[in-house]
């Protein structure tokens, strides 16, 4: 256990910013452990992860944040202040961990191919409550061995909210750019410090020494805008914090990097300055920074106005029922919540209706659901009946259902509802060459710009179908259930797919394959017919029989 | 040879008639069901009104937790802080019925929700009630009258008002139970079969389970029995029809928790026991009369009468003393207000405050039973020729129900089946007479076919009467009942043939009317029927289908839907703490517990007058005092319904006087005159200061003036009196 005096010093509040920007590796202890030492997994608290979710820290943070708002010029230093002296004991552990980790980074880099990033550009889109980050990396192999994998690193605070990571290699010049999607998988890099999580991008062809490749990475964060103040009244607009690092966290050395942050409105209360940084309108620019070491980190906070609907579906259950008689019945049960700043005080309907531009700007009244074309028998209701405020627009490309909850949703308010619709079967059910049938349906939530915390898709196959298997383009939990519907005898097979933290980018098609014998289609009508037949037979027999005892 | 030919022909005709009437009944069932679906088509499949929401909630509990938990259910969501024992205070018939339906459907893997089952329970049972009406009227006056009465009942507006889809209330199943109990009683009376007597007791049990109106049965049947005895129509069939009903019925009724010992303790049931004693005395007398010679019998009568009178007067004196010692004389408030229509308004404002407990107006008679009101007297006359046990029962039924419906609007529902049966009888008799006279005079129709016509409608009626008569002769001969049944059937067959050939021509010649007049009369009758149908469809579609939870208004740019009730309830259910208490006037209690799932202070089961008065007092007190009252009740939210902006008339301001009255009934410092200016209820600048300062006024009109700048109340049609004020103790 190595507790470096130097590290102790670092967590002191009055620490210089310059020192922080230095890479973790530089700050690491010089003690050398034997090679191959496995890094134990510590319960690491990074001093830089501001979204530590202990109540104490949020309290402190808010205190600190309020100071940020008050003082204009000093705010950078204040914001940079190491957060928690109270968490010191935890930090001691974490620095021990850092000591090991940074050590191991060295040892690891020895064995793995030496890569470096020539140019990195990051565009962070904060316009809605779903944060989309577009990362363009130009990676060069400077080592001796060819590299087949490129790693991306994320701070632990972001990893929890990371909904999706996509990567593509680009070829060609601007005009004739072509993209080649690449596989992205979460991995554990043994040398990642502070619980930073890594994703590996598998290249199609290994990168040889001296060659370079351009990668486009898109990753999406949900629940990463933190409203501050936590409670607002009806007339106030909503301000949120965004935490990130000015410098891209990467396991590689980055030669040249820039970060652009696009906010939803030009009203930015404050942002951490890491020179050179600049703001023009709704765009913040960090960088360009030159020659940053691997795992460099420089926390920033952007405090800005965001009145977009923070529509979060806490739980969504989509039930897709296949009937081979020609229809697909979809039922979606929503538990919607407004995840923005909590509503404080009274709600005045009068003000809300008379001055919509000033009152309840962060609330939302309606949501837009994009449904497949040719949708029919749409209903929108909750447990106490139909909700009369909805509009359906259909055209040949898509159907749009505009729904309004029973009341406008303010921060923290909840609503539950059910949307159901029927679809023609021939648009979604196909026969694969090997004789199996498969359903091709869209994963994800049809509501625009919403995050789904827990999505469950239940595909109810017709009675008598066998060997179901689901093909989903990303990792989901799968299981099989049995449900009973109209006059079922053996029950229907239900393929259940579960995924957490779903964003609109997950709306890609998935397939469920199964075997089905068409004879089962007529089983239930036959059953009904025979029941009636026997009933009438029984009646006729009864009428023609004399069952009296006495003649 | 001719006789045998006639026999096969009539058999065929009977089979054909049976199939025809079966299909007619099926169609009547479909009609009864579908005419009640206007509410679902125009609005949606949702539970209506207030009480149905409670029943729905109880059904949900039943389906979720099972029957045993249901009996022991203590509901802490209502009547805070008292709570309510649901299992012991609710008529379980409806919930058990719907719960059983749901269970059956679900065990057949038909996944209907509890709500759907509840919504469609009432239409289903009204179809069944129409069939029960057919059976009852058939027992009284034959198949033709039965079919007519069933068709009339299927669409009588009074019954529709209580049984549209979604109106999930006790009456929905209770009317079926009522008619079916009467049918079984008449059936027992006509056949003297003990099987039907037992079934009758069970049907009565179902009625007791379903509705408090069962006291109507247990008083009407003894009255009829008494009538029969007094008019010298006592028979063993009457005994079989009555005695098992009282014994079994009372035993079964006391099994229902809500009735319990009331089945023997309260005065509502007293008449049945008295008649029970009387019928035994009479039975004994008839028995002795059968044994003794006429001379000896006279002696015995004088002896028994002398002793009996003394004993009876002593017993009656004791009973009267006991009954008189209790303040309400053993009657419940609602029954008392039936006997004395002015009782409720004098003593119990809470009963009087319910609009359905008010006496009806003449237009409401026309609205609810329409042309039946004119056909009823004709039906009564038809019942007197010839008067049988069954038809005398119907006459008694119509007379009493007319009285009860005159006292309470709600009991119009009891009148409706009686009116339908009477009108059915009247219509079918009239049709019978007219068609027969037309057939008689039509040239070129063979004698044979005339016989057919006569048989198909009137023949069965005549047969029925004849059967009754034969039964009587059989009784006097003291034959065994089982043999009697067999014999009766054979006799009926024989009689059918005979009557067709002999009796009808004689009757026909008696009742022949001129051809033209009968054709015109027929047309008029058809026109009358058409009027009735048009009125019923209109009533079902327009008047009685609004679920009251969703309001609609038509304006120049289409239909507007006001869904504010559910908006409020949904908000309460999702955005308040689970244990928060909501105070509102008791009308909204059931809905709040069912839809918002929050604890309420008072609800529509108005069992505790003081508690309601407390809320009434709070609503009519100044703000500070009200705040203290609500604070003492842990109330966190106050729900107030205000319709001044959109013009919804039944809001809390219009109910406010009742709050004052009920509050003032318990807490004397609330005085009604304080809220009235010169005896008038007004909310404008002329209103009294007490009125302008009470909580209800303030909550309703809080910031109201900002909506249009003037504060114009569209319901009351006036500007409000006090415009700019602030709430100090309550938050919006």
Q: Pick the closest to residue A439 from A456, A419, A462 (CA basis).
A: A462
Domain spanning A115-305: CATH 2.60.40.1730: yes
Phi-psi region of A82 (alpha: psi -120 to 50; beta: other; left: phi over 0): beta
Distance from CA of A550 to the nearest CA of B (A): 9
Task: Map out the domains of chain A as residue ranges.
Answer: 12-45, 55-72+85-111, 115-305, 311-524
Collapse the DSSP code of B684 into the 3-class scheme (helix H, G, I; strand E, B; otherwise coil) and give the result.
coil
Give me the residues of A, 43-102, that contact B with CB < 8 A. Answer: none
Looking at the partner chain, which of B109, B549, B731 has a beta carbon nearest the beta carbon of A484? B109
Q: Which of B570, B571, B699 to mutate to test the interface with A (most CBs of A within 10 A)?
A: B570
The angle subtended at Cα B427 by Cα B426 and Cα B429, nearest 5°, is 65
Average pLDDT for B215-242: 90
More confident residue, B305 or B338: B305
With CB atoms and an 8 Å threshold, state whether A407 touches B732.
no
Q: What are the C-alpha distances in Å from A154 to residues A149, A166, A211, A221, B156?
A: 16, 14, 25, 11, 73
Is 0.80 surpassed by the pTM of this model? no
Q: Which of A335, A351, A384, A458 to mutate to test the interface with B (most CBs of B within 10 A)?
A: A384
More confident residue, B607 or A539: A539
* Distance (Å, whole) CA A227 – CA A342: 9
- The two beta strands, A437-442 and B718-719, are unpaired
Give me the residues of A, 480-499, that contact B with CB < 8 A. Answer: 484-489
**Given this model, what pLDDT does residue B576 score?**
79
More confident residue, B642 or A113: B642
Q: What is the CA radius of gyration of chain B?
A: 30
* Distance (Å, whole) CA B86 – CA B74: 6
**Given this model, what pLDDT does residue A320 score?**
92
Tens of pLDDT along A467-483? 899 988 888 899 998 88
**Given this model, what pLDDT does residue B710 score?**
59
**Given this model, what pLDDT does residue A454 score?**
92
Q: What are the C-alpha distances in Å from A128 to residues A169, A279, A307, B248, B355?
A: 27, 19, 8, 72, 53
**Given this model, what pLDDT does residue B333 score?**
62
Distance from CA of A26 to the nearest CA of B (A): 51
The answer on pLDDT for B582 being more than 90 is no
**Given this model, what pLDDT does residue A98 score?**
52
The answer on pLDDT for B241 being more than 50 is yes
Nearest CA in chain A to B114: A383
The answer on pLDDT for A131 being more than 50 is yes
What residues of chain A lie within 8 A of the CB of B703, using their CB? 348, 350
Confidence of residue A463 (pLDDT cuts 50, 70, 90): confident
For residues A122-146, one letter each, b for 16 or more C-beta atoms within 10 angstroms of the residue's C-beta and e for the rest, the string is bbbbbebbbbbbebebbbbbbbeee
Tens of pLDDT along B244-298? 999 999 999 998 888 888 888 777 888 888 899 889 888 888 888 888 777 887 8
Task: Choose the weakest-confidence range: A19-33, A271-285, A309-323.
Answer: A19-33
The answer on pLDDT for B465 being more than 70 is no
Q: What are the C-alpha distances in Å from B85 to residues B78, B79, B82, B90?
A: 10, 10, 10, 9
Chains A & B: contacts with CB separation below 8 Å: 61
| Structure tokens, B522 | 């027929």
Mean pLDDT of chain A: 77
Q: Pick the closest to residue A197 from A51, A91, A295 (CA basis).
A: A295
Per cent of chain A over pLDDT 70 is 78
Task: Choose the weakest-confidence range: A118-122, B482-486, B541-545.
Answer: B482-486
**Given this model, what pLDDT does residue B455 score?**
41
Q: Which of B43, B109, B553 to mutate to test the interface with A (most CBs of A within 10 A)?
A: B109
The answer on pLDDT for A515 being more than 50 is yes
More confident residue, A118 or B557: A118
What residues of chain B lie within 8 A of the CB of A407, using their CB? 567, 570-571
**Given this model, what pLDDT does residue B349 score?**
66
What residues of chain B lie within 8 A of the CB of A348, using their CB? 703, 732
Q: Pick the closest to residue B532 from B125, B26, B33, B158 (CA basis).
A: B158
Task: Choose the weakest-confidence range: A201-215, B124-138, B420-434, B690-704.
Answer: B690-704
Give alpha helix (H) positions in B292-359: 294-325, 333-339, 343-347, 349-352
With CB atoms and an 8 Å threshold, state whether A406 touches B566.
yes
Give, as one character, the DSSP assignment of residue B688: -
**Given this model, what pLDDT does residue B714 score?**
54
Tens of pLDDT along A84-111? 444 455 545 555 555 454 444 444 444 4
Do B454 and B504 touch, CB atoms closer than 8 A?
yes
What residues of chain A lie within 8 A of the CB of B44, using their CB? 381, 385-386
Neighbours of B728 (CB within 10 A): 9
* Distance (Å, whole) CA B259 – CA A280: 79
With CB atoms and an 8 Å threshold, state whether A384 touches B575.
no
* Chain B contact present for A387, CB below 8 A: yes
The chain B residues in contact with chain A (CB within 8 A) are 44-46, 108-111, 482, 486, 549-550, 561, 563, 566-567, 569-571, 574-575, 595, 703, 706-707, 731-732
Confidence of residue B25 (pLDDT cuts 50, 70, 90): very high
**Given this model, what pLDDT does residue A32 score?**
36
Confidence of residue B495 (pLDDT cuts 50, 70, 90): very low
DSSP letters for A46-84: -TT-TT---HHHHHHHHHHHHHHHH-STTHHHHHHS-S-
Q: Which residues pair with A151 in a beta bridge?
A: A200
The answer on pLDDT for A533 being more than 70 is yes
**Given this model, what pLDDT does residue A112 score?**
55
Enumerate residues 6+ apart whose C-beta is below 8 A from A154.
A162, A196, A197, A198, A199, A219, A249
With CB atoms and an 8 Å threshold, state whether A350 touches B706.
yes
* Distance (Å, whole) CA A11 – CA A84: 8
Tens of pLDDT along A63-82? 444 443 443 333 344 433 44
Number of H helices, E strands in chain B: 35, 9
First to last CA, chain A: 105
Mean pLDDT of chain B: 78
With CB atoms and an 8 Å threshold, state whether B566 touches A385.
yes
> How far is CA B732 from its chain centroid?
42
The answer on pLDDT for B600 being more than 70 is yes
> How far is CA A415 from its chain centroid?
21
Q: Which residues pair with A422 in a beta bridge?
A: A329, A376
Enumerate residues 6+ apart whose C-beta is below 8 A from B669.
none
Tens of pLDDT along B57-83? 889 999 999 888 888 888 887 777 777
With CB atoms and an 8 Å threshold, state whether A389 touches B110.
no
* Distance (Å, whole) CA B102 – CA B97: 9
**Given this model, what pLDDT does residue B702 score?**
73
Please give the torsion angle defined by the CA atoms of residues A30, A35, A41 and A45, in that order, rounded to the nearest 10 degrees.
Answer: 20
Do B378 and B430 touch, CB atoms closer than 8 A?
yes
Neighbours of B104 (CB within 10 A): 11
Looking at the partner chain, which of B45, B561, B595 has a beta carbon nearest the beta carbon of A388? B561
With CB atoms and an 8 Å threshold, state whether B732 touches A389.
no
Average pLDDT for A461-465: 88
Give, as one character, the DSSP assignment of residue B165: T
Neighbours of B713 (CB within 10 A): 22
Sign of torsion over alpha carbons A159, A162, A168, A173: negative
More confident residue, A334 or B705: A334
* Distance (Å, whole) CA B258 – CA B261: 9
What residues of chain B lie within 8 A of the CB of A486, using their CB? 109-111
Give me the residues of A, 308-347, that contact B with CB < 8 A. Answer: 345-347
Give alpha helix (H) positions in B349-459: 349-352, 362-369, 372-384, 389-407, 412-441, 447-454
* Distance (Å, whole) CA B57 – CA B62: 9
- The two beta strands, B581-583 and B635-638, are parallel
Looking at the partner chain, which of B44, B567, B731 has a beta carbon nearest the beta carbon of A346? B731
Confidence of residue A340 (pLDDT cuts 50, 70, 90): confident
Tens of pLDDT along A5-57? 433 333 344 344 444 443 333 333 333 333 333 333 333 333 333 333 333 44
Architecture of A311-524 per CATH?
A: Sandwich (2.60)
């Amino acid at each position: 256990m190595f507790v470096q005096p130097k590290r102790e010093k670092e967590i002191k509040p009055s620490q210089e910013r310059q020192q922080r920007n230095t890479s973790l590796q530089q700050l690491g202890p010089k003690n050398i452990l034997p090679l191959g030492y496995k890094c134990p997994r510590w319960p690491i608290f990074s001093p830089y992860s501001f979204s530590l979710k202990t109540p104490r820290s949020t309290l402190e943070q808010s205190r600190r944040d309020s100071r940020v708002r008050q003082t204009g010029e000093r705010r950078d230093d204040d914001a940079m202040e190491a957060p928690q002296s109270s968490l010191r004991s935890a930090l001691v552990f974490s620095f021990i961990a850092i000591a090991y980790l940074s050590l191991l980074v060295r040892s690891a880099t020895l064995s793995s191919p030496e890569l470096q990033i020539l140019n990195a550009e990051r565009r962070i889109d904060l316009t809605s409550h779903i944060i989309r980050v577009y990362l363009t990396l130009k990676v060069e192999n400077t080592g001796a061995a060819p590299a087949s994998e490129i790693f991306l690193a994320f701070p632990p605070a972001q990893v929890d909210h990371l909904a999706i990571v996509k990567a593509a290699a680009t070829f060609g010049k601007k005009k004739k750019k072509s993209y080649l999607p690449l596989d992205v998988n979460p991995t554990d890099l043994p040398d990642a410090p502070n619980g930073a999580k890594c994703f590996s991008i598998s290249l199609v062809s290994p990168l040889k020494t001296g060659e370079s490749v351009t990668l486009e990475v898109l990753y999406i964060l949900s629940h990463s805008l933190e409203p501050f103040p936590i409670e607002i009244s009806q007339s106030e607009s909503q301000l949120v914090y965004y935490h990130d690092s000015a410098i891209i966290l990467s396991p590689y050395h980055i030669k040249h990097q820039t970060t652009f942050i696009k906010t939803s409105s030009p009203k930015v209360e404050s942002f951490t300055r890491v020179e050179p940084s600049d703001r023009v309108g709704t765009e913040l620019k960090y960088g360009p920074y030159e020659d940053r070491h691997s795992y460099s980190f420089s926390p920033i906070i952007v405090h800005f106005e965001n009145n977009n609907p923070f529509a979060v579906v806490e739980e969504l259950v989509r039930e897709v029922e296949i009937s081979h008689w020609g229809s697909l019945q979809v039922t979606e049960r929503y538990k919607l919540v407004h995840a923005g700043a909590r509503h404080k005080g009274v709600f005045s309907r009068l003000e809300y209706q008379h001055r919509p531009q000033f009152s309840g700007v962060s609330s939302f009244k309606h949501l837009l659901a994009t449904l497949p074309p040719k949708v029919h028998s749409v209903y929108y209701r909750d447990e106490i009946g139909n909700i009369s405020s909805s509009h359906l627009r259909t055209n040949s490309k898509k159907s749009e259902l505009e729904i309004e909850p029973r009341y406008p949703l303010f921060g923290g308010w909840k609503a539950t509802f059910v949307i159901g619709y029927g679809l023609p079967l021939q648009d979604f059910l196909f026969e694969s060459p090997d004789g199996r049938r498969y359903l091709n349906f869209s994963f994800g939530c049809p509501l625009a710009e919403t995050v789904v915390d827990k999505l469950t898709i239940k595909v109810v196959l017709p009675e008598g179908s066998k060997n179901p298997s689901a093909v989903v383009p990303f990792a989901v939990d799968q299981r099989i259930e049995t449900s009973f519907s109209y006059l079922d005898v053996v029950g229907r097979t239900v393929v259940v797919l579960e995924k957490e933290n779903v964003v609109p980018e997950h709306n890609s098609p998935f397939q469920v394959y199964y075997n089905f014998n068409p004879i089962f289609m007529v089983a239930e009508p036959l059953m009904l017919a025979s029941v009636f037949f026997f009933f009438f037979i029984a009646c006729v027999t009864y009428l023609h029989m004399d069952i009296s005892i006495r003649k | 040879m001719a006789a045998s030919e006639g026999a096969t022909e009539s058999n065929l005709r009977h089979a054909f008639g049976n199939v025809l009437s079966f299909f007619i009944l099926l169609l009547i069932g479909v009609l009864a069901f579908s005419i009640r679906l206007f509410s679902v088509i125009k609005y949606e499949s949702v539970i209506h009104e207030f009480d149905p929401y409670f029943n729905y909630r109880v059904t949900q509990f039943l389906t979720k937790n099972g029957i045993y938990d249901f009996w022991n259910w203590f509901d802490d969501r209502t009547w805070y802080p008292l709570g309510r024992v649901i299992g012991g205070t609710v008529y379980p018939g409806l919930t058990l019925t719907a719960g059983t339906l749901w269970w059956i459907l679900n065990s057949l893997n038909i996944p209907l929700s509890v709500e759907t089952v509840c919504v469609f329970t009432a239409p289903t049972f009204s179809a069944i009630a129409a069939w029960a009406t057919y059976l009852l009227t058939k027992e009284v006056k034959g198949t033709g009258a039965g079919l007519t009465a069933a068709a009339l009942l299927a669409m009588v507006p009074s019954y529709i008002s209580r049984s549209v889809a979604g109106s999930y209330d006790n009456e929905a199943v209770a009317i079926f139970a009522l008619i079916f109990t009467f049918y079984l009683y008449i059936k027992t009376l006509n056949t003297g079969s003990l099987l039907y007597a037992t079934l009758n007791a069970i049907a009565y049990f179902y009625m007791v389970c379903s509705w408090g109106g069962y006291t109507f049965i247990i008083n009407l049947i003894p009255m009829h029995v008494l009538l029969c005895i007094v008019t010298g129509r006592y028979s063993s069939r009457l005994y079989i029809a009555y005695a098992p009903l009282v014994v079994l019925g009372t035993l079964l009724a006391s099994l229902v928790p809500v009735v319990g010992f009331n089945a023997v303790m309260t005065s509502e049931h007293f008449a049945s026991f008295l008649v029970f004693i009387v019928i035994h005395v009479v039975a004994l007398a008839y028995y002795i009369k059968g044994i003794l010679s006429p001379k000896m019998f006279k002696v015995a009568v004088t002896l028994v009468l002398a002793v009996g009178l003394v004993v009876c007067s002593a017993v009656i004196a004791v009973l009267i003393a006991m009954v008189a010692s209790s303040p309400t004389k053993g009657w419940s408030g609602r029954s008392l207000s039936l006997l004395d229509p002015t009782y409720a308004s004098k003593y119990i404002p809470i009963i009087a405050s319910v609009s359905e407990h008010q006496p009806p107006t003449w237009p409401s008679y026309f609205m609810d039973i329409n042309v039946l009101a004119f056909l009823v007297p004709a039906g009564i006359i038809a019942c007197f020729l010839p008067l049988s046990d069954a038809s005398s029962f119907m006459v008694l039924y119509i007379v009493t129900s007319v009285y009860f419906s005159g006292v309470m609007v709600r009991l119009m529902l009891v009148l409706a089946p009686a009116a339908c049966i009477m009108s059915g009888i009247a219509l079918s008799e009239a049709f019978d007479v007219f068609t027969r006279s037309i057939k008689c005079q039509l040239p070129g129709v063979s004698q044979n076919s005339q016989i057919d016509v006569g048989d198909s409608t009137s023949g069965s009626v005549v047969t029925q009467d004849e059967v009754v008569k034969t039964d009587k002769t059989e009784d006097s001969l003291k034959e065994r009942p089982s043999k009697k049944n067999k014999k009766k059937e054979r006799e009926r067959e024989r009689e059918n043939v005979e009557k067709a050939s002999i009796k009808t021509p004689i009757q026909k010649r008696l009742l022949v009317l001129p051809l033209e007049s009968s054709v015109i009369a027929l047309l008029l009758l058809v026109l009358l029927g058409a009027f009735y149908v048009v009125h019923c469809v209109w009533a079902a579609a327009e008047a009685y289908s609004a679920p009251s939870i969703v309001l609609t208004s038509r304006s120049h740019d289409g239909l507007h839907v006001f869904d504010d009730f559910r908006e409020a309830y949904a908000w309460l259910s999702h955005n308040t703490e689970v244990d928060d208490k909501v105070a509102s006037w008791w009308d909204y209690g059931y809905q709040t517990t069912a839809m918002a799932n929050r604890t309420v202070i008072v609800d529509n089961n108005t069992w505790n007058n003081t508690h309601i008065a407390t809320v009434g007092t709070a609503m009519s007190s100044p703000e500070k005092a009200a705040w203290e009252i609500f604070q003492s009740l842990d109330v966190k939210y106050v729900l107030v319904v205000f319709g001044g902006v959109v013009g919804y008339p039944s809001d809390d301001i219009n109910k406010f006087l009742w709050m004052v009255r009920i509050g003032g009934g318990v807490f004397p410092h609330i005085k009604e005159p304080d809220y009235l200016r010169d005896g008038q209820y007004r909310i404008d600048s002329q209103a009294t200061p007490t009125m302008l300062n009470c909580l209800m006024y303030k909550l309703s009109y809080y910031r109201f003036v900002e909506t249009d700048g003037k504060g114009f109340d569209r319901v009351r049609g006036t500007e409000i009196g006090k415009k700019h004020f602030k709430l100090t103790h309550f938050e919006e």
